[in-house]
Chain A
Amino acid sequence: MKAAVIVFPGSNCDRDIQVALRQSMGSEPQMVWHKDADFDSVDLICLPGGFSYGDYLRCGAMSAKSPVMKEVIARANKGVPVLGICNGFQILAESGLVPGALMRNAGLKFVCRDLHLKVERNDSIFTSGYATGQAIKIPVAHHDGNYFVDAEGLKAIEDKGQVAFRYCGADGTVTAENNPNGSLNNIAGVYNAKGNVLGMMPHPERLCEAALGGTDGKAMFESLVAALS
């Protein structure tokens, strides 16, 4: 399996994903600068978290128009798997690769803590290592993670099973108290219609080692390796 991590000016989780991929793949992912639209053919493209372009205008708005994203969009539309985490999710939403938008957190505060996510389905290349309905512990760290889509769009993604993860309690129950940012229906991650693109606010790459407080993120990278090797 070959993977690429796109590095934007202001990305700061690119090396975390690099380490998580290296450990799961057993080989080195390619790090691709955002101006290099011409990169190797790969089985997986990752858009990392951070504050690309200083979050100017809207989070992810500038990165979504960078040279490399034209290529990422073209490859995603051909079926290449793309994983966008945190700022990567914002970039995917701004690119139109996943539905909806990420707005300022309802509480107006930056939220940085471990929380639980309910895995909505495990028949995807990203989540086969989890059980459907499983509650996994994954950290969030964002100011703009409040997922919004209009009523019609929300119905469409719910009906088509495009919700990947919801914020929940340790026992998997989805309640308003477990919603850290005001996201509609507690949505923490969404797939595109084809299911080859996943955008999520929480950071699985940050909990892949017991020494860091948990390993629930590791199964996502192992799922991808199993599906794409």
Chain B
Amino acid sequence: MKARIHVTLKNGVLDPQGKAIEHTLGSLGFEGVSQARQGKFIELDLEETDKAKAHEAVTAMCEKLLANTVIENYSIDLEQ
């Protein structure tokens, strides 16, 4: 099973890199872009075949290592 994890900064946490990206997109002439937020994408191969168990395991991985929940949120997508 593939696990795809997005780690993003929580709302209310300033993202200076996102701001710089937004500013540069504007200077390149891309208009109407706002709220750029930079995050991380992590992909894992899991031996687990049970989706519920896999979700539980990946949630624990996010809580313990992949995300810092002081500043970051995470979302998990599983694909059989």
**Within the assembled complex, what's the spacing in Å between the Cα atoms of A41 and B64?**
28
- Check B13–A103 contact: CB distance below 8 A: yes
Residue B34, interface by CB 8 Å: no
Chain B residues lying within 8 Å of A105, measured Cβ to Cβ, are 16
Chain B residues lying within 8 Å of A100, measured Cβ to Cβ, are 70
- Check B70–A107 contact: CB distance below 8 A: no
Interface segment, one of A4-12, A57-65, A190-198: A57-65
- Check B16–A65 contact: CB distance below 8 A: no
Chain A residues lying within 8 Å of B71, measured Cβ to Cβ, are 101, 103, 148
Q: Which of B13, B14, B65 contacts A57 (CB 8 A)?
A: B65
Minimum distance in angstroms from B16 CB to a CB of chain A: 5
Instruction: Please judge, given known A-B contacts A106-B16, A108-B16, A148-B13, whether A65 and B70 are in contact too, CB under 8 Å.
Output: no
Minimum distance in angstroms from A128 CB to a CB of chain B: 30
Q: Which of B12, B40, B70 contacts A101 (CB 8 A)?
A: B70
**Within the assembled complex, what's the spacing in Å between the Cα atoms of A146 and B16?**
11
Number of interface residues of A (CB under 8 A): 20
Query: How many residue-residue contacts, CB under 8 A, span A and B?
Result: 37
- Check A58–B70 contact: CB distance below 8 A: no
Mask for B5-46, Cβ within 8 A of A = 1, else 0? 000000011101100100000000000000000001000000
- Check B68–A182 contact: CB distance below 8 A: no
- Check B68–A61 contact: CB distance below 8 A: yes
Minimum distance in angstroms from A208 CB to a CB of chain B: 32
- Check B66–A106 contact: CB distance below 8 A: no
- Greatest chain B CB density within 10 A among A58, A94, A106 is at A58
- Check A182–B14 contact: CB distance below 8 A: yes
Q: Which of A101, A108, A182 contacts B17 (CB 8 A)?
A: A108
Q: Which of A101, A104, A150 contacts B16 (CB 8 A)?
A: A104
Chain B residues lying within 8 Å of A101, measured Cβ to Cβ, are 68, 70-71
Chain B residues lying within 8 Å of A94, measured Cβ to Cβ, are 68
Residue A149, interface by CB 8 Å: yes
Chain A residues lying within 8 Å of B13, measured Cβ to Cβ, are 103, 148
Residues of A within 8 A of B (CB): 57-58, 61, 65, 93-94, 100-101, 103-108, 146, 148-150, 153, 182
20 contacts between A and B (CB under 8 A): A57-B66, A61-B68, A93-B70, A94-B68, A100-B70, A101-B68, A101-B70, A101-B71, A103-B14, A103-B71, A104-B17, A106-B14, A107-B16, A108-B17, A146-B16, A148-B14, A148-B71, A149-B70, A150-B70, A153-B70
